[in-house]
Amino acid sequence: MRLTLHVWRQAGPDKPGRMETYDAPGISDHMSFLEMLDLVNERMIEEGKEPFAFDSDCREGICGACGLVINGIPHGPHQTTTCQLHMRSFKDGEEIWIEPWRATAFPILKDLIVDREPFERIMQAGGYVAANAGGAPDGNAIPIPKPQADRAMDAAECIGCGACVAACPNASAMLFTSAKVSQFALLPQGQPERWERVHKMVSQMEQEGFGNCANHTECEAACPKGVSISFIAQLNRDLLRATLKKSGSAA
């Protein structure tokens, strides 16, 4: 295949950005999207040009580092991670527009790489169990109903890639935050800090500058792991209960 790539180039967070166009011949439809970018970058290096920067790690769809907006869609035309998107999804002669996540809370570091540390700070605010649990306990030590365990695992599938933020017109991080809150709220181990946790994580989310959820549901459509927006409803219920408990204790 021969493709035309329009790639966002930006030297740093405070530098102006621009789209640059690259000719990409000899692309195999068996390549992954990132392998295609690797090939284009190798050719640029051979020509003495500066390759464009993009992020990746596992390339197995489990780390979330590879997030790109491809033709206006986070991760591209299929509900998967960018590294699992293959070039057979595109046609010979097609033009492809490649951009970073677009959100004030995710400043661009360089080209296609954004700073996702705000997600880390939300997790640091309360996305953990503080009790010293020692070694890994036996899996059957605490009986948990299967539907409850399954739902907790559904929430834990979130890989923190940020596609939900990139897809949301408000750049909201509610799907990410709700998944991380819910994976603990649904299990016995998460109950001691349940109400304090939801307050801390939502407060940190707001401090990071993410927008509010307006129920567009674009986050669920873009999520490569299919995390449900029903977790946002659960977060809102927990936040309301936590607020009432806090008000009651203050009184």
Structural domains in the chain, sorted by start: 3-110 (3.10.20.30), 116-250 (1.10.1060.10)
Which of the two residues, 216 and 250, has the higher pLDDT score?
A: 216
Q: Residues 123-139: pLDDT tens digits?
A: 999 999 887 767 777 76
pTM of the predicted model as reported, rounded to 2 decimal places: 0.93
- Write down the pLDDT at residue 140: 75
Give the 3-state secondary structure of the chain. Answer: CCEEEEEEEECCCCCCEEEEEEEECCCCCCCEHHHHHHHHHHHHHHCCCCCCCCCCCCCCCCCCCCCCEECCEECCCCCCCHHHCEHHHCCCCCEEEEECCCCCCCCEEECCEECCHHHHHHHHHHCCCCCCCCCCCCCCCCCCCHHHHHHHHHHHCCCCCCHHHHHCCCCECHHHHHHHHHHHHCCHHHCCCHHHHHHHHHHHHHHCCCECCCCCCHHHHHCCCCCCCHHHHHHHHHHHHHHHHHHHHHC
- Band (pLDDT 50/70/90 cuts) for residue 143 is confident
Q: What percent of the chain has pLDDT over 70?
A: 98
Q: Stretch 23-42: mean pLDDT, rounded?
A: 97
pLDDT of 136 = 73
